[in-house]
Structure 1
Amino acid sequence: MRGCVEEFHPAIGFSPGESTKKPGLMEEDRISQLPDQILQQILSLLDTNQALQTTILSTRWKTLSHTLPDLRFHLSRFAPSNNPKTAQPLSHRFSHFVTRLLSLRDGTAPIHNFHLSFDTHLLIHADQSFIEKCILYAVNHRVESLRLHARCRPDITLPAAFFASTTLRELELRQLGRVICSPEKLSLPYLKTLFLDGCWFGHGDYYDPPLKEPFSGFPELEKLTLRRCVFYELVVKAPKLRFLEIVDESLYAYGMEEISAPLLTSFRYEAKLPFHCSKVDLPMLEEVYLDINYKQQPDNIYNYVNPTTMTLRCVRMFHLLGNAKIVALTLDTVKVLEKYRGLIEESPCPFPYLKCLKVMKGRREITTVLRRVMNYLTEGTLYFDSLVMLLPQDVTVVEKNSDDLFEDESDEQQLELLFGIEDEII
């Protein structure tokens, strides 16, 4: 006679199936016999809302849910909604759910990862006081990784206790807007990874500019990502920084005054306009990824950038990053260099230590690159004889194309433009 087996599913418990055991005998629950630490690791792979569903199994599983070291709350997994009318009420229910769970949690249990996300394409404003309470709760429970993704009104204020954390190693803030810091100086002495998307640090009045040097109090910072952030004359001084990423979707070049990172090995930059900075100190730079994706919109005078300015800024950007040995450029970036022949032909080699040049697909459909541009990027390098150059299979190197609109200016005029005039946007 065929009997019954119990198959375990983390979200719904046990379900009947087939077995060779005799009727009336219970299948041994081996998973519940595992140590608490292993079970917590299993539950940490789930969203917290899903992990809580295991509490129906037994008292032990309910106890485990009160001591989980990894808390991940995602609005989209809590109760997905595509209806704008129900989105904000759903947000309130979600906040109440998180608050309730934190109140029932074992207050002595530490938190390794605390992730809170109002991840929806709908415009939902999270409650500012709720977000601040979550931050304080996580810090008070010795959080190591803190990630927040929420649109908030008004601005978020980080309490002084936040900057006293000795355990925080990873911080990710998305869409929070302006983050007000209560202490006069930001200081997270043990932070190693910082990811900012659509937010910035500031003090005082809303109309005050963002902090000019916000990362000076992060001596252990190794990885910094800035996406769609607002900074003016930004200064980055980071003695242990190894990776820097900047993504800017606006029509303004990312304004930086200084980057001093003696251990930086990787720099990634994506924007509509080339990167520019008054002072750069990157002696250990190894890899560079550049994507300049400006595209003129027809009949839009506010979206027009002088082509000469684009080429000048691009050449200057290359020289600022001249220590790089592996350079990756999108085809959109390479196209910026095609307009003015004299400018690049008379300019010094931008990457004298280049060992590998990668040209990759960009946002536009581009199938050709000019030989003179490739020569400018590669000739004169110390490793020219062993240089590796990679191009997409369907891209051809040509002598001239229809976009080759060289303006007949003298070499002296071109060099004067390159090194002697201020940038100009028309």
Structure 2
Amino acid sequence: MDRISNLPDEIIHHIGSFLSAKEAAFATVLSKRWRTLFNIIPKLDFNGSLKRGFKDFVDGVLALPVSSRVRTFSLKCIHAPQDEDLINRCLRHVVNRGVLVLELHIRVARKGHSYLLPCDVFTCKTVSTMKLGSGFVIDHLLLPADVSLPSLKSLFLDSVRFFGSDDGRCCSFTTLLSQSPLLEELVMEDMEWERWKWCSTVSSTTLQRLTIQRREWESFDETDDEENIRLDSRCLTHDFDYISFDTPALTYLEYSDYVPKEYLIVNLGSLVEANLNLCVDEHGVWQNQHANTFNPMTLINGLKNVEILNLTIEAVEMFYVFNESTPMFEKVSQITIDLSNSCWFSLPTVIKKFPNLKTLIIEDSLHYRFGEGVLVCECVSEYSFLLSCPVEVLKINKYNGYVNELEQMKHFLGKLSCLELVEVRAQATSSEEKLQIMADLLMLPRASSKCKIQVKFFQNSY
């Protein structure tokens, strides 16, 4: 006992982190010093079935002294409806113990049932990071009148749905954001806006990072998955016509979803980096006729201050379809493009909208047309658009050294007059292949005398 008591507080805290909640409670009676150290429990974690020790876990949590504090609480389980009272008792006890990180991933074993969080979760004064999922339903009628999360900085939502009133004036999602005055990061994964009933606005004056990830790239009313089309009828009342982003402090946006018919309000004045993967419909293809049905121009114009832009093929085509209305993006210095082996017909037109582009990153393979004697696809017109491009750094993240790819590299190096560095991630399985790829690239003529070539090799595909 004496040898342990003489250890620094940090080490005793570390020892205490290996104890269960019940053991930590018992340990506090062994030493006066431990009463103040072990009453701060770094983490309580349960991951498994409620049939395997959850009752003992809850008993340990409920046995914690009144003065105890839990810093991180993680509960991941699948439960039967009759177990909800046990879960809620545990959560109420924890949120009143100064919890800083709350991670809940709770699913109901019976189809057609969703777990409803206890009101205490939404009035926790100390929680700074909250992770909620999966399949939770948060209804404005069930939120407490005094909902408040004054310390919340990071909110992660996984397959969580929000409901509001029929007139759109009340929405649990809007309420939750408005009562989180310090919120800096919001992550929403497995999203399906059309399953919500809400006011269609993401609004926060403090939010700095926003991630929206679509659940599935198909229309919910066409899927044959029973789990996706059941749930209560309220989830199908929203037409997904409009979305607004009122987030003036946002600096990072990752947005992967279908495009609504219109963006009513877009306040992204502080945005620095945007990652866009946007589709019009389940086919994932922009067509010219969509311009009459969908209008993303408010969103496109709202990106005017962006400096770093990452685009998938669908997002590139969106810029292409609305090219005449799209402004010049003077501040964009870096673009990452993932064209997924698709035709590059839209790239020459879109790239001209970024007159101060310094770094161009191509995620997928260089594009070329398959066919005998054909090395350059006509869609890029011999890469003439590169002649006026001010790119200084070119990164190719997938390169195999094929003769067609080498021909594309010839155009990049021979036409980009400001080029200073080319970084190539190449796949090779032998020393001979590596030497051949290096020799081929170094032999290419370069429009810029400052251009250097760096090659990194990988054996596995990516």
TM-score range (shorter-chain normalised) is 0.5 to 0.7
Cross-structure match for 2:65: 106
> 2:308 and 2:61 mapped to 1: Cα distance?
47
In 2 relative to 1, CA 236–394 (structure 1 residues): closer, same or farther, beyond 3 Å? closer
In 2 relative to 1, CA 314–376 (structure 1 residues): closer, same or farther, beyond 3 Å? farther
- Structure 1 residues 246-283: Cα deviation after superposition (integer angstroms, max 9, x where no partner): 11224469665322111110011123557952111111
Cross-structure match for 1:220: 182
Q: Are residue 347 (structure 1) and residue 325 (structure 2) matched?
A: yes
- Structure 1 residues 360-418: Cα deviation after superposition (integer angstroms, max 9, x where no partner): 47xxxx33552x5233333243xx2453211136323765459xxxxxxxxxxxxxxxx
CA contact (8 A) 2:338 2:364 kept: no
Cross-structure match for 2:92: 136
Count of residues in correspondence between the two structures: 334
Q: Are residue 94 (structure 1) and residue 94 (structure 2) matched?
A: no
Q: Are residue 167 (structure 1) and residue 145 (structure 2) matched?
A: no
Residue identity in the other structure for 2:159: G
Percent identity between the aligned chains?
Answer: 20
Cα displacement (A) at 1:140: 1.2
**Worse-matched range after superposition: 138-147 or 179-188:** 179-188
Q: Are residue 192 (structure 1) and residue 153 (structure 2) matched?
A: yes
> 2:84 and 2:347 mapped to 1: Cα distance?
52
SS at match of 1:72: strand
Cross-structure match for 1:282: 268
Residue identity in the other structure for 2:363: P
> 2:124 and 2:360 mapped to 1: Cα distance?
46
State the TM-score, normalized to the length of structure 1. Answer: 0.64
Cross-structure match for 2:400: none
For residues 6-405 of structure 1, the aligned pairs below 5 Å read 33-41=6-14, 43-44=16-17, 67-76=39-48, 90-118=49-77, 124-125=79-80, 127-152=83-108, 153-159=113-119, 161-180=120-139, 181-184=142-145, 186-202=147-163, 211=172, 213-214=174-175, 215-229=177-191, 230-231=195-196, 232-250=198-216, 251=218, 257-273=243-259, 277-292=263-278, 307-308=287-288, 317-331=299-313, 333-334=315-316, 336-337=317-318, 343-349=321-327, 351-360=329-338, 366-370=340-344, 373-381=346-354, 384-392=355-363, 394-396=365-367, 400=378
Residue identity in the other structure for 2:359: V
CA contact (8 A) 1:175 1:197 kept: yes
CA contact (8 A) 2:341 2:365 kept: yes
Structure 1: runs of 5 or more not aligned: 1-27, 77-89, 297-302, 403-426
SS at match of 1:134: helix
In 2 relative to 1, CA 385–274 (structure 1 residues): closer, same or farther, beyond 3 Å? same
* CA RMSD after TM alignment: 4.2
> 1:375 and 1:132 mapped to 2: Cα distance?
57
SS at match of 1:394: coil
Structure 2: runs of 5 or more not aligned: 220-238, 369-375, 381-462
> 2:274 and 2:314 mapped to 1: Cα distance?
15
In 2 relative to 1, CA 270–254 (structure 1 residues): closer, same or farther, beyond 3 Å? farther
CA contact (8 A) 1:274 1:317 kept: no
Residue identity in the other structure for 1:105: L
CA contact (8 A) 2:155 2:187 kept: yes
CA contact (8 A) 1:75 1:94 kept: no
SS at match of 1:187: coil
CA contact (8 A) 1:155 1:178 kept: yes
- Structure 1 residues 291-334: Cα deviation after superposition (integer angstroms, max 9, x where no partner): 247896xxxxxx79874466755666433433321101234543
Cα displacement (A) at 1:188: 1.8
SS at match of 1:115: strand
Residue identity in the other structure for 1:188: L
SS at match of 1:213: helix
In 2 relative to 1, CA 50–191 (structure 1 residues): closer, same or farther, beyond 3 Å? closer
- Structure 1 residues 103-151: Cα deviation after superposition (integer angstroms, max 9, x where no partner): 3323311122111112xxxx65473223322221122112122111111
> 1:34 and 1:275 mapped to 2: Cα distance?
63
- Structure 1 residues 18-69: Cα deviation after superposition (integer angstroms, max 9, x where no partner): xxxxxxxxxx99667423443323554x6x669969x99x967998996352
CA contact (8 A) 2:21 2:57 kept: no
CA contact (8 A) 2:279 2:285 kept: no
In 2 relative to 1, CA 174–310 (structure 1 residues): closer, same or farther, beyond 3 Å? farther
> 1:35 and 1:345 mapped to 2: Cα distance?
64
Cα displacement (A) at 1:286: 0.5
Residue identity in the other structure for 1:374: L
CA contact (8 A) 2:122 2:143 kept: no
In 2 relative to 1, CA 66–151 (structure 1 residues): closer, same or farther, beyond 3 Å? farther
> 1:378 and 1:101 mapped to 2: Cα distance?
60
Residue identity in the other structure for 2:185: K
Cross-structure match for 2:389: none
> 1:183 and 1:42 mapped to 2: Cα distance?
38
